[in-house]
Copies of this chain bind each other. A is one copy, B any other.
Amino acid sequence: MTPEEFRSAGHAIVDFIADYRTHVSERPVLARTEPGDIKKQLPTAPPSAPEPFDAVMRDLERIIVPGLTHWQHPRFFAYFPSNGDLSSVLGDYLSTGLGVLGLAWQSSPALTELEEVAVDWFRQMLDLSSRWSGVIQDTASTSTLVALMCAREKTTKYSLARAGLQGEPKPLIVYASAQSHSSVDKAALLAGFGRANIRVVPHDAEYAMRADALDEAIARDRAAGALPSAVVATCGTTTSTAFDPIEAIARVAVAHGLWLHVDAAMAGSAMIVPECRPLWRGIEQADSLVINPHKWLGAAFDCSVYFVRDPEHLVRVMSTNPSYLQSAADGRVKNFRDWGLPLGRRFRALKLWMLIRDQGVSGLQARVRRDLANAQWLAQQVRATPPWRVLAPVRLQTLCVRHQPDGLDGEALDRHTQAWVDRINRSGAALLTPAVLDGRWMVRVSIGAEHTERSDVDALWTVMQQEAGR
């Protein structure tokens, strides 16, 4: 495609997205499509000759868009908000259009240096001390995998330079609570620890990890000849936004020489408002920390910031230095390829940088506060309306709710819950995520899509009452 064809088609794409965002609230939130519906409308073989751009646009409107679940919809209350503010979208447009890669500082110096600057802005917004250094990864899954690999290498004093994990005489152990995200288990398994060496630390009635139980589990493992390696604490669990007590956990981790990784993927964005910061008191004592600006904050996916206190250790675990990547600048610059898994890197800093400049810190804070207030408002309505129940503390913007009519319990209650949430989701009026808490299905209401206003939450509450009351 020539630059002039791109200019014309690009304007059409921008208009298409502007229109899409303007009218997204008129669409059903959840795609109304059955498995295979999209595939069967598309040719099974690639075209031999070029096709005109207009043909692609027609397929987009006719086939692709009806097959989307609309994450930018103001009544998207599912999973977590993944806000792609349009200023950040433009940052990503620049990145893709410039088409430069960050294999090394030299391969595009501005890519590396703007990442240093934008991530450091974000650090300041979170009120983290300057002892933290950050880098942009794709997702929290990857960041947590990197963290557990770093923990493994710390505990074994760089076993990768010798016989690897398989050469270690004592089994290394990882600790997390049952409320931690599935990516923590996945990371521990992929890093080679093994299911038998993952300890599920008990949590309290508010779904927060018990530091005393962690301490006991570590002592038991030590007594049995194992080597406690890492604990993953969560700031804002997926199911209920519980906060593991970082300060107390850090004390245990320091006492026993464990790596403390903090998963604040979703809730970390809240820490740009000072009143939320007590929730992660002790954070300065962690070894690594992941926060995803591509969730609540509004950076276009993917943009996961991984902070570490000891970048030298990270680089020692992740570095490679073949001749074809060396340059005269190497001693004086950061080569972010040595801060994570991939060698090739997009110019992701642009989308974070442009978001922060477009909104200003004050604008981002205002949006977070709006969502916190909306969640408290909804919690009040639910609590005041029997037989509705709020099942867990509403620390930030997620509610765990259940409609629990008298006499309904056990599997019958589960069926009721799944039926009403399913009716809402199929109606297209809103999208909610059912999940299991304490062995029973309930419904998560995750508030915080960029354009979710009080009126949307109000409308949701109305439809919840209608559908559960049927």
Contact = CB atoms under 8 A, between A and B. Distances in A.
A90 B99 CA distance: 12
A300 interface: yes
A171 to B, nearest CB: 5
A90 B161 contact: no
Interface residues of A, number: 159
A90 B10 contact: yes
Interface in A151-205: 152, 159-168, 171-172, 181-183, 185-186, 189-197
A5 B341 CA distance: 37
A53 interface: yes
A44 B130 CA distance: 12
Contacts of A60: 94
A61 to B, nearest CB: 11
A108 interface: yes
Contacts of A108: 31, 67-69, 71
Given A47-B356, A160-B189, A86 B6 contact: yes
A14 B20 contact: no
B38 A114 contact: yes
A262 to B, nearest CB: 18
B324 A86 contact: no
A213 B362 CA distance: 64
Interface in A9-51: 9-11, 13-22, 30-31, 33, 35-39, 42, 44-51
A299 to B, nearest CB: 11
A194 B166 contact: yes
A78 B324 CA distance: 9
B238 A67 contact: no
Contacts of A138: 138, 342, 344
A72 interface: yes
Contacts of A374: none
Interface stretch (A141-149, A246-254, A283-291, A381-389): A141-149
Contacts of A120: 44
23 contacts: A1-B85, A1-B87, A9-B87, A11-B14, A31-B109, A31-B110, A39-B116, A45-B124, A51-B358, A53-B358, A60-B94, A71-B101, A78-B107, A89-B96, A142-B341, A160-B189, A162-B196, A163-B197, A166-B171, A183-B343, A190-B191, A190-B341, A239-B323
Given A44-B120, A46-B121, 15 more contacts: A1-B358, A3-B22, A10-B90, A21-B97, A36-B332, A46-B125, A49-B363, A64-B350, A65-B98, A69-B106, A71-B99, A82-B99, A84-B96, A89-B97, A160-B194
